[in-house]
Amino acid sequence: MTYVKGSCLCRSVQYEAAVSNEQVLACHCEKCARTSGHHAVMVACSSEGPDISDRNHRLRWYRSSFQVDRGFCSECGGNVFWRDLASGTTYVTLGTVDGPTGLSVTRHIFVGSKSDYYDITDGLPQAPEW
């Protein structure tokens, strides 16, 4: 486990979390692309989840599918969290982590729906879906 801190762009939503070095995922699904502008990279938090500080009550959750909630800042629009409702695991988007992170992507998921404008060439495991 690695301990990280991070926030959205305007810093209204801040967090601290213990995260799994083995669960750093690059997700290439359409929903992640639409919320991030590209594929999204996220890291799984420990079972305790992140400790969230929500100044000014800006954190909003959006149910993007029957099994996923996405947490974002209603002020700056920052895509901060992804929560798997089946397992209860919360992930933080790696771009919101204060660096250096010391983390590396461990695998790619939903590569079956990735866009055609880029290739995945890092040699890491790729799954067509989850």
* pLDDT band of 11, cuts 50, 70, 90: very high
Q: Are 114 and 28 in contact (CB under 8 A)?
A: yes
- Contact (Cβ atoms closer than 8 angstroms) between residue 41 and residue 60: no
CB 39 within 8 A of CB 32: yes
pLDDT at 28: 97
Which pLDDT value is given to residue 97? 97
Structure tokens at 2: 């690695």
Q: Over the stretch 54-87, which tens digit does the pLDDT of each residue have? A: 988 999 999 999 999 999 999 999 999 999 999 9
User: Residue 125 class from Cβ within 10 Å (0-12 exposed, 13-18 middle, 19+ buried)?
Assistant: exposed
Which residue type is seen at 46?
Answer: S
Average pLDDT score over the chain? 95
Q: What angle do CA 18, 19, 21 make, to 5 degrees?
A: 135
Residue pLDDT, tens place only, 90-120: 999 999 999 899 999 999 999 999 999 999 9
Domains of the chain in sequence order: 2-113 (2.170.150.70)
- What pLDDT score was predicted for residue 130? 83
C-alpha dihedral sign at 49, 2, 24, 76: positive
What's the rounded mean pLDDT across residues 41-55?
94
> pLDDT grade, residue 42 (50/70/90)?
very high
Strand partners, 51: 16
